[in-house]
Structure 1
């Protein structure tokens, strides 16, 4: 009457159906923190960490692209309006170059901030993982130690 469910069978089917490629960094992180866990648990955990990391990177990239597109559109609009005012074309071109140089500098700074945020998010996920996988001390041991003091 007992059903036999073999966790090893699940571990064997999971990698074949998985579409997520796991980085070496994630492999070592999970293998260090879950040395005795079944392969199915390790594989799912690795895929979860990779998914979180990729989502953070994707969101960072999307935010950067959105900001850049909006900025470029604003520069184009300003250029069009300035050209309509019949100013000296050389001065306009020089001013636009200065604005573009400033924009590139600001853009690089923004990208660095997004990358830093993505790295901090990844580190936070790893720290949370470390806390979740840290050895748990039994509360009965703690109680017996305090009663002997």
Structure 2
């Protein structure tokens, strides 16, 4: 960069279980992601920006002669597979959560029905006792 074309960079901190990486996001990447992914969450946008910047930095780090099409495609495939793996894990977690919710709802339904039957039985016994008391005269 020269004094005439200084760009401001957004700094993003990416945390993972392995390490913390500070990634500078260029205004071009920021604008692209914000435009193309308007409906996504901030976390998804942040991760996408970091991925784009990492791919760009990797391509810049490789010299023009050594960066082959296969190397680039391999990096993109690895990034895609990583994202797809995360989506599969999240989908599995959602499915497991849904199964747990269904099991809990079914268990709660059966407990509520049991309580309702018990209550109905008690009301029936109380009504029978009240009827017998009402219709039987007091012994004098």
TM-score, with length taken from structure 1: 0.35
More helix by share: 1
More strand by share: 2
Q: Pick 1 or 2: higher relative contact order, CA cutoff 8 A, min separation 6.
A: 1
Query: Which structure has the greater CA radius of gyration?
Result: 2
